[in-house]
Every structure is written in C-alpha cells, then in structure tokens.
Structure 1
C-alpha cells in the first residue's frame, strides 16, 4: 500500500520551492504526495508535483490590536478544523511543514490526530511559526547547524539536513560560470520576490544609468517588476539606453540565474540555496522589515563564505549602488572567484537527507 505524505507550505516561493524539491524526491521513492497551502500559491502555477492540492484557511499576525488578533485567531481556528477534516480524509503517514503561519493548522491538526510531524526551517533564524511548532513536532530539520532561536527543549529532535533545492535548479549545477569578457555583454538578473521588487524598481534604473557609458552600453538587464511598476521601469531603462527584459514573474528563473554574470536580489533562504546550487555571484539586499532579520543572516552567511556581497537597504543610495556595480563589473576575475565559492557552499544532498528523515518517521509499508 502506497504511503501518503502531506506537505504544508505557505504560498510563497521561499516555502513552496523546498516543498517542491521534497515532493519530487518522495515521489521518486514511491510515496504519494499531497499539498496543503493557501491561495497565494496560485501565482507560482499549478504544476506542484502532488497528487492533490488543498487550500486551507490561514492568517498571519500583522497587528497586536485586539480585534485584529481575534480575527487572525478565528481564521486559524477555522483552518485547524478544515485541516483536521482533510487529514481524516487523506490519512497521511507523515505531515511535513515548511514554516510560516499557513503551516500551523495542518501541523497542529496532525498533532491532535497522533500523526507524525516534521517541520523544516529554511533560514539561519528560526521563524516564529516554527518556534511555536517546535514545542511538539516529532522532528525538526534545519538548514544551518547554527540556527538562532532554536528552543533548547527542541535540540534533541533537531538535525541539519540543509535546504532542499528543486530539480529545475539542480539541472544547472554543472553549467560552468563564464565571466564577462572585456568588451562583451554584461547580463544582470534582478529579482526581489513579491515583497521586494518595488525597491529594486526604484533604485536599479538610476544606479545603472549613472555608470560610465562603456559599461552601460554592455548591459542587458533581466528584472522582476511588479505589474504596477512595469511601465515606469520600462521607460526608465529606455531613457538610460539600457536593454531590459521585464516581467512580474519568471517561470524559468533557474535558467536565467545560470546565464547571469551577476544576480541582484533579496536574501530569502531559497534564493541563497539556489544561488549556491548553481554557483552564481550575487549582490544581496536583505528585506529590511523581515521578522528577526532572517534575510540579513542568510546574506551574511553567503558573504562570509565569499560567494557574494551584502548591502543593507538603509545604507544604499543611487550613487553608492552605482559605484559598487561599477566595481564588480570591472573585475571579472572577482566575479568568477565568488561564483566558485558560492558553488562550493551548496548542500546538494539536502533533499535526500530530508526525505530520509520523513521516510524514517513514516515507518515500513503496511
């Protein structure tokens, strides 16, 4: 009898991408995989490798005002009841959560039904939902050996697996980095996730426009841009005489990452894991309002390993960013060294380690 594993992941790339990687590996091992998520997942397409995808009501605590807290608790309670009915129907052998408040209802429902649970933390700082769930999860999978805010009571149930990376990313693992030639094109990939693209839309066009003409004319920019910013950003690059390909979302992002000479992005855990899996140099600007500064921790780990550079948003001006980019584009050897060090930091066995942990909890087939 085929064993079923239910994955619970909030509808953002940072949670869905490692869940996708695990789903692919579990399917190869003969498991049936199903997904519980929220409505945001639709922006990433409907191609998640699962037998079925379920929407479970959830909410995030965005305010401490009593009315807002009560509303959030009410929606989480509704999600718990929906998740419990779902688990009774699906009867999974293990439920795996990937962090974020949308994982609370499925993991707590699994706990109430006695179903084994695993939570996975992608960041170097344990998220608030995972901190709560770590009180009773049967196993805790970490991406970093040193993870801030891991409860002491949870340490015995924790093990380092790394952050799983999708097959679509690993397929570019063996594509060698080719540094820019002295008079050749400079391909820059810029993306920032749903929360971070607006800052780049405001900052990058004027920063690139300030660069010396010989460098500016060599640029080809591929940039993720919010729909409401597309027209203004397109016009800004046109006025700067810079070739630019703009879109709200790139479904072929791993391929574009592999082709880039430099990546400029936020520092989400999945972004950093994918950069190192492919081995590309990056200029990271952590999201300044991220809870617990988890993106700053991620970016600093990459910088300390020599795989990229971290700039805090509060320290960035158009002038400084332009100078930094001119410095990087003028040093192809430095970009190549960063690419090699980035690649050396990758944990390509992460998905296998996490799958083995899930397989162990599932136990032998009946």
Structure 2
C-alpha cells in the first residue's frame, strides 16, 4: 500500500516500524490491536518480507532497507546506499503520513522511519524484545524519546538510556493470550507425554538432526508414551518420519503450524530455539522447555533470553555445542521420570509471564505523544 492509501487522519496516528520477520512484527501487531481498542489507527512501515505477516495491518508502507551482512567494501557500500535511499523515502513518507509518534520494533527496516522521525522532531519510541539490545535499536537508542524493553536490565549499563527506559514485557498475539487460559495438564504415571519441537517459523535443521536420534535412544516404554509434534523443513521430513516410525513413536510433523500457541498450551515439554517471542510465549502460557539458543547471533540475544527463563527455573538451557542426541535423551528421560519437576517448571515459567505488555506499551506510546503535543503548545 502506498502513502496515499494510508487510513484517514484522526487526532492521533501511530506509525509502527519493524523488520520483516515475525519476531519484530508480532509485537507490532499486538500494539496495533491495543491501540485500535482505544480508537487510535496505526500504519506499518516495513520491508517487502512483511507481506506474509502484515495482513493484520489495515495500512502498510514499504521502505527500502538492508542489513550489513558482509564486511567487504562493496557490500558495505551497497547496504549503505540502500539505507540512504530508505532514509530519503522515509522522510518523504513521514512528511506525507504525519504520524503523531513513530514506534520502532527493531530490524534494519525500522531504522529509516525512526531515524527520519527523529530528524523531523516527531516523538519516537523503541521496543526491544530481547534481553540484549539489537544493532538496529542500539543505533537508534540515543535519538528516541523513550525505550520499552521486554526484559529488565537491558539498558542498565548506560545511564542516558536507562533514564528513558521502561520494562513492559513483550506484547503477545491474540492467539497466545487465548492459550494462556489452558492449565498445565497433569502427567499420569506411565501416561502420555506431549512434546512440541520447533526452531523458528519454518523449523530448524538442528532440531531435525538431534531430536529424532535422541528419541531413538530412549527406552521403549518411554517411546510409547511420547506424543511428538515437530516443525520440520520439507527436505528433512522423510528422514525424521522414518526415525519416529521405526521407534513406534506417535508423531505429527509439518513445515509450519498456524496454531503453534495452542499446540504449546497442549504440551508437557517444549524443545525450541529461544527467540524473544518464544520465551515470552512460554512464560505467558507457562510451559517447561529445553532451549537451544541460536549460536551465531552477533549479539547472542537468544542465549540471554534463555538465561532469563533458566534463572526463573522454567527452562533447561543447552548451548548448541552441547546439544547432542545423548544429552537430549538424558534430559527427556529425567524429566519424564519426574512429572512434579515438569509441573514446577511450568509454574515458574508462568510466574514471569507478562500478559498486558501490549496495553503497557500503548500507554507509554500515548503518553509520549501527549507530552510532545503539550510541549508544542507551551
């Protein structure tokens, strides 16, 4: 959608800027829903990748952006040129849309709109989902009016950022909020043990490499109890299915599950990566987990996210170098033999869940807009 097709102006209009992945767009979607309940319209600024996630936004504008992936001069020049183009377009877009406030959710597509707004003296807010601040948000942090975080302590080391930071939690999608009402199901002696496995929106190769061999190492009586739901890449499905079938383990595998929050709520144990959204959802729903942080992230954000849930007693964190079939089989065997521990982990995970983060963020955004409006009057 172009700038001219944006929803009509009202007293307030909030622009949300987010990278084109679910991890950034889902909290932006949640904020948009919370603002809509208050009669405040939003427009999404993102990149072309957002098409499959942006259907929940009535208005959307696309801004050119690029990630600095390569360190060679040519890659840097190309990325810089794309971001410069994005900034010029963002200035024109912000001037046309006239938002009351711009909210950035991270990812490089959020940089041009938030940076443009700061140049034009329009109030700005950042939301950082992870336990450590990402590169895009770090670049913007000193320029914005306020910072909201999903975890405590993210900006504590920088006083200039800490004084404008509020920990509000990570906004949750409606499907996740609906799943929070499902209590953790008691595990009967020798009864079924429901295990959910995923590694991202399309599943992760590491899960296909490690989880089936680990399950194959379990004793037959435990294999008979397992009910496994696993996200598996299309090319990995034959080999994963073969292992589970040979072990006579009940399983459902697919490249993608549209109802993942409900499946999480139906589980006794979750094995997954530890993106900010996943950790927030595990906490809100209250499910025990084995978390394997993505090892190559520059900021090691997933390791920090998993550490929060591990410290609370709701998760077991295994670094990828230690994530072997033997280690995973040992953990599954121990948890299956101790249902009280699983129940305790579920309760401790839920103990740090934040269900009203979207409303808290909406409050902060509207407060920033009101303060800016009052300053203009004064």
Measured against the shorter chain, the TM-score band is over 0.9
- Give the equivalent residue in structure 1 for 2:228: 221
Q: 1:39 to 1:248 in 2, by over 3 A?
A: farther
Q: How far, CA to CA, are the matches of 1:7 and 1:249 in structure 2?
A: 27
* Offset, 1:184: 2.2
* Offset, 1:158: 1.5
Q: 1:6 aligns with which of 12, 15, 18?
A: 15
Q: How far, CA to CA, are the matches of 2:69 and 2:61 in structure 1?
A: 24
- Give the equivalent residue in structure 1 for 2:4: none
* Offset, 1:39: 2.5
Q: 1:2 to 1:168 in 2, by over 3 A?
A: farther
Q: How far, CA to CA, are the matches of 1:149 and 1:104 in structure 2?
A: 23
- Give the equivalent residue in structure 2 for 1:211: 218
Check the 8 A contact 1:283/1:310 in 2, yes or no: yes
* Offset, 1:150: 5.5
Q: 1:47 to 1:89 in 2, by over 3 A?
A: same
Q: 2:55 aligns with which of 32, 47, 51?
A: 47
Q: How far, CA to CA, are the matches of 1:146 and 1:353 in structure 2?
A: 17
Check the 8 A contact 1:2/1:32 in 2, yes or no: no
SS state at 1:34 partner? strand
User: In the alignment, does 2:188 pair up with 1:188?
Assistant: no
- Give the equivalent residue in structure 1 for 2:24: 15
Query: Alpha-carbon deviations, 1:170-203, whole Å to 9, x = none?
Result: 1122211013222322211111115861100111
Q: TM-score, normalised by structure 1?
A: 0.94
SS state at 1:264 partner? strand
SS state at 1:175 partner? coil
Q: 1:90 to 1:175 in 2, by over 3 A?
A: same
Check the 8 A contact 1:134/1:151 in 2, yes or no: no
Q: TM-score, normalised by structure 2?
A: 0.91
Q: How far, CA to CA, are the matches of 1:232 and 1:85 in structure 2?
A: 51
User: In the alignment, does 2:79 pair up with 1:63?
Assistant: no
* Offset, 1:240: 2.7
SS state at 2:93 partner? helix
Q: How far, CA to CA, are the matches of 1:135 and 1:148 in structure 2?
A: 11
Check the 8 A contact 1:95/1:116 in 2, yes or no: yes
SS state at 2:204 partner? helix
* Offset, 1:229: 2.0
Unaligned runs of 5+ in 1: none
Q: How far, CA to CA, are the matches of 1:238 and 1:83 in structure 2?
A: 53
Query: Alpha-carbon deviations, 1:204-260, whole Å to 9, x = none?
Result: 111111111111112121111223322332233223322222222221111011001
Q: CA RMSD in A?
A: 1.9
* Offset, 1:116: 1.0
Query: Alpha-carbon deviations, 1:268-323, whole Å to 9, x = none?
Result: 11111111111111111111112221111111111111111111111122111111
Q: How far, CA to CA, are the matches of 2:69 and 2:243 in structure 1?
A: 34
Q: How far, CA to CA, are the matches of 1:244 and 1:77 in structure 2?
A: 49
Q: How far, CA to CA, are the matches of 1:289 and 1:261 in structure 2?
A: 29
SS state at 1:171 partner? helix
* Alignment map for 1:274-353 (pairs within 5 Å): 274-353=281-360
Query: Alpha-carbon deviations, 1:9-51, whole Å to 9, x = none?
Result: 112222112111111101111100111122322344x432x22
Check the 8 A contact 2:45/2:61 in 1, yes or no: yes
Question: Comparing 31-40 with 276-285, which one deviates more in the overlay?
Answer: 31-40
Aligned length: 364
Check the 8 A contact 1:124/1:148 in 2, yes or no: no
Structure 1 stretches of 4+ with a deviation exceeding 4 A read: none
Check the 8 A contact 1:126/1:150 in 2, yes or no: no
Unaligned runs of 5+ in 2: 1-9
Question: Comparing 279-288 with 182-191, which one deviates more in the overlay?
Answer: 182-191
Check the 8 A contact 2:203/2:233 in 1, yes or no: no
